[in-house]
Structure 1
Amino acid sequence: MDSSVTRAQAFGQAEINWDKLDKTKFYVVGAGLFTGLTMGLYPVSVIKTRLQVASGDAVERNAFSVIKGILRMDGIPGLYRGFGTVITGAVPARIIFLTALETSKVAAFKMVEPFKLSETTQAAVANGIAGLTSALFSQAVFVPIDVVSQKLMVQGYSGHQKYNGGLDVARKIIKSDGIRGLYRGFGLSVMTYAPSSAVWWASYGSNQRFIWRVVGNGTDLEKESPSQGTIVAVQATGAIIAGVTASCITTPMDTIKTRLQVLEHEGRKTTTKQVVKSLIADDGWKGLYRGLGPRLFSMSAWGTSMILAYEYLKRLCAKDGQI
């Protein structure tokens, strides 16, 4: 796909498209790679979730107090509550996400090519479409995992019910609300993660090309190829900017979604309107940005780690002679 070959790729970063990958190796190695990344960053998700569901009179109202409370009560294992459930669902969700991302990216570049957009705009649009599409597909698997894991993350905290593992959570949800209970907040989840994914990938795709132009590799194709360190620095910078952009735009929806999924107490349903009113009553409009710090850090750290690992994964899993 000639139109998708960026200026940065002309300096030794040839695009490894879907048809150039060894799919079996891609899935197997990728599952292990992203499991490791999830393990490293999982505590941040626990902290973010607890901040978002904290009641108005909760003592632990900032990240440091939440960490101290978790370590005091449960030690290091407390930072990994619900991790087993997340990993169980993350593998199929990640496979669906990556497959949809790569295939839709190819289709999106072809779709926007006739519009003769600038390289940066074309990358933003195509990557945004791919990010949106992949998030929509993966949410069917991820939402039930999200619902269960978040209940485990906050069990016993601020009056929340305790469970005996992920299966116990799922069993009680199904008993109370049926299968649809596992999709509590599905609409909000899609409204959060789909735009977040679209913004992240659009920002990353365009930022990376802009940065290459700024550092001087955007016009002279006869110039010596950049070093591996430069390539990694550009990718990391693009990922950090993308993470900050996406988290600032989508945190309010994520906060509402999280509270909606985990805050309904026995015998009382919670609506989106009630959640919003409660947040504003407790903290004003800034209540919608509860957990912004951890989420911003998580999205930036995860995005940077993910994209560097992902680019490495694609090179590692390219078919012979394709790079």
Structure 2
Amino acid sequence: MESREIPRPKIPSLDPTEINWDKLDKTKLYVVGAGLFSGVTVALYPVSVIKTRMQVATGDAVQKNAFAAFRNILKADGIPGLYRGFGTVITGAVPARIIFLTTLEKTKVASFELVKPLKLSEPVQAAIANGIAGLTASLFSQAVFVPIDVVSQKLMVQGYSGHANYNGGLDVARKILGAQGIRGFYRGFGLSVMTYSPSSAVWWASYGSSQRIIWSLLGHGNESKSLPSSGQIVSVQAAGGIFAGAIASCITTPIDTIKTRLQVMPVNNQKRLRARQVVKRLIEEDGWKGFYRGLGPRFFSMSAWGTSMIVSYEYLKRLCSKTDEI
């Protein structure tokens, strides 16, 4: 009698929480997702402003901690000061996220297929596939994201620590174009790629593997036939987001500090510094700890954004699934 191998049930992190790209209503995903992620951006944007101010501060403007920077922004500009450059970011974020999410999901599926023959453990497979997907998605979205980042960061620090004032995002864009041409919008592009692409790879790799490890610790491993509750699913996703944000922020903050300083230089500065000179100046001003200026806000931002984003995104995928059986 011929024996047949009975397939083992999948880890619940793949079913029901994992929904493949081909099962999603793309139009609904993009439209609903734009509104959902815009809401998250509104909530967390002030943290980005505080982080940027801390990274570019020089001399007496250097803040000892994020709370001091927050208090000074409120004192000088009120609540609007926490949303400098927000209009520019929210406008450019929609196409950037469409590119990112599309590339992420399609690459993730392909990457899982590539690592299957290696017979690795599921957490390792998830780390590799998610890491490749996060890296690729970030690389593709940088073409849109970097110009938005350059303009918005100039607005974030305008009038602060010697930086120029502008009349909105269009004024910044016009002055950059007039002084430096198109390449002015890609100031720090290499460092941006070096910051966000590895950060995205580390974040998604950490998230993918930590999720499966947590499920295993909770008893929902390959041999488990029980399904997690919706509360457990959200909790595991949130925990994975916090863990991923902590790792990614610690690894990439030094590069992010250098990139930010390069991007906020005056557009008419005839002696624009190179990355090596920025590094030297940071060391002279504050020693090696200067590279970790804004680490607290960056850690909070990446963890809070990552957790909010991933929980919202997983919910969004369920909401936009073409099938009722998830």
| TM tier, smaller | over 0.9
Corresponding position: 1:195 with 2:198:
yes
1:8 equivalent in structure 2: 12
Residue type of the alignment partner of 1:33: L
TM-aligned CA deviation for residue 59 of structure 1: 4.8
Residue type of the alignment partner of 1:165: G
Within-5 A mapping of 1:47-196: 47-196=50-199
Q: Secondary structure at the match of 1:112?
A: helix
**Identical counterparts, % of pairs:** 72
Deviations 1:240-281 (A, max 9, x none): 000000000000000000001113463321110111011111
Deviations 1:126-168 (A, max 9, x none): 0000000000000000000000000000000011000000000
| Structure 1 residue ranges without an equivalent (≥5) | none
Deviations 1:168-212 (A, max 9, x none): 001000111000000000000000000000000000000000011
TM-aligned CA deviation for residue 58 of structure 1: 1.8
Cα 1:321–1:227, aligned 2, differ >3 Å: closer, same or farther? Answer: closer
Task: Answer whether contact 2:13 2:211 (CA < 8 A) is retained.
Answer: no
Corresponding position: 1:311 with 2:314:
yes
In structure 2, C-alpha distance between the alignment counterparts of 1:61 and 1:225, rounded to whole Å: 48
TM-aligned CA deviation for residue 219 of structure 1: 4.1
In structure 2, C-alpha distance between the alignment counterparts of 1:18 and 1:146, rounded to whole Å: 28
Task: Answer whether contact 1:239 1:307 (CA < 8 A) is retained.
Answer: yes
| Structure 2 residue ranges without an equivalent (≥5) | 1-6
2:264 equivalent in structure 1: 262
Cα 1:220–1:113, aligned 2, differ >3 Å: closer, same or farther? Answer: closer
Cα 1:6–1:299, aligned 2, differ >3 Å: closer, same or farther? Answer: farther
Task: Answer whether contact 1:6 1:209 (CA < 8 A) is retained.
Answer: no
Cα 1:234–1:221, aligned 2, differ >3 Å: closer, same or farther? Answer: same
1:218 equivalent in structure 2: 221
Q: Secondary structure at the match of 1:57?
A: helix
2:4 equivalent in structure 1: none
1:240 equivalent in structure 2: 242
In structure 1, C-alpha distance between the alignment counterparts of 2:13 and 2:271, rounded to whole Å: 55
Residue type of the alignment partner of 1:243: G
Deviations 1:93-139 (A, max 9, x none): 00000000000001100111111111110000000000000000000
Cα 1:255–1:126, aligned 2, differ >3 Å: closer, same or farther? Answer: same
In structure 2, C-alpha distance between the alignment counterparts of 1:6 and 1:171, rounded to whole Å: 54
Task: Answer whether contact 1:6 1:119 (CA < 8 A) is retained.
Answer: no
In structure 2, C-alpha distance between the alignment counterparts of 1:214 and 1:40, rounded to whole Å: 32
RMSD of equivalent CA atoms: 1.5
In structure 2, C-alpha distance between the alignment counterparts of 1:60 and 1:79, rounded to whole Å: 16
Structure 1 segments of 4+ aligned residues over 6 angstroms from their partners:
none
In structure 1, C-alpha distance between the alignment counterparts of 2:21 and 2:222, rounded to whole Å: 27
Residue type of the alignment partner of 1:65: A
Q: Secondary structure at the match of 2:138?
A: helix
1:229 to 203, 228, 231: 231
TM-aligned CA deviation for residue 84 of structure 1: 0.1
